[in-house]
Amino acid sequence: MKFKFKIILCIACLVLLAQLIRPEELSTAKAQTAKTLTGVPKEVANVFETSCFDCHSAQTNLRWFDKITPANFLVASHIRDGRKALDFSQWDSLATPQRNAMLYFALNGILSGEMPLSSYTALHPSAKLKEKDIALLKNYFLNNLVSKPGDAVSRVGQPKVKEVKNSPNGVAYLPGYRNWKAISSTDRFDNGTIRIIFGNPIAVKAIHDGKTKPWPDGTVFAKTAWKQEKGKDGNVYAGQFVQVEFMIKDATRYAGTKGWGWARWKGENLLPYGKTVKFDSECISCHRPERNNDYVFTTPLDIKDFKK
């Protein structure tokens, strides 16, 4: 009995000594005055605050078991990664379109089942989203972040620029995408745009052959976006050209960015998006919920009959 007692005592002492080692993220994180998401209905804000803020803001509410070493190192890692991907603490400094994009990104993570983490909700059951919570978020997006009716003017024509600069990461603009096949369409109700996704011949063949997980090297997608205009008759029209985005598959060349080269050109002047080479981390972060689909959101149309 004495030997077992000594073993237990030694373990207890080691656990107590381990508590002296604390992760920096938890001990130095600056506290922030409690705030709600300005401009968002209280009930909607409450859902995000309850299920997201602990890891995605500076308003981290740590429970006693979150503070115990070594569990606190895992918690700190989740918080660090969470804030890097999405930080609601920046809310008040963002313009409305950026706020909507942030909520859209959060909703994507929720609908894909990626967030909140099941390992987190197991110990923090209050963060688990109920069906009524998800329905509330969907309803808010569909009824509050859509374009309002107006005098729609169709401007579907593509911009024409003689010389387009490369993206900061070196990806070159591909004007030939206009001759590719349209493989899907979508809309972004957070910023009021409608989109058509074009696929190059390699992408089309992969769709026809059913080999899209993963997509083969050489696959290129071009996602074009126009401002969504809703006419007084209730119909939706393509308005001003907003941007074109490219995803270029090359598992070797783009190994550091999940096997894809990412690029975006905005406006009718086709100005390359991004201030630094690392801008594509935004793209990866947004597409992370689709990592099991090779980071591709697009569900291609059935285009088997189009094979030449």
DSSP 8-state symbol, 14? H
Q: Are 212 and 196 in contact (CB under 8 A)?
A: no
CA angle 134, 294, 214 (to 5 degrees): 140
Contacts of 122 (CB under 8 A, 6+ apart): none
- pTM of this structure: 0.59
DSSP 8-state symbol, 276? S
Residue 283 has a CB neighbour count (10 Å cut-off) of 21
Q: Are 241 and 267 in contact (CB under 8 A)?
A: yes
| Domain residue ranges in the chain | 20-144, 175-306
pLDDT tens-place values along the chain, 308 residues long: 566 655 666 655 655 555 556 666 554 344 444 456 888 888 888 888 888 888 888 877 777 767 777 766 777 777 887 887 788 888 888 777 778 778 877 877 787 777 888 878 877 888 888 888 888 888 887 666 554 444 444 454 555 667 899 999 999 999 889 889 888 877 776 667 788 899 999 999 999 888 888 999 999 999 998 887 776 666 666 778 889 999 999 999 999 999 999 999 998 889 999 888 888 888 888 888 888 889 998 877 655 544 44
CATH of domain 175-306: 3.50.70.20
Residue 306 has a CB neighbour count (10 Å cut-off) of 12
Contacts of 204 (CB under 8 A, 6+ apart): 180, 181, 183, 303, 306, 307
**Single-letter code of the amino acid located at 210:** G
Q: How far is CA 181 from CA 126, 186, 287, 295, in A?
A: 46, 15, 23, 21
Tens-place pLDDT, residues 284-306: 888 888 888 899 988 776 555 44
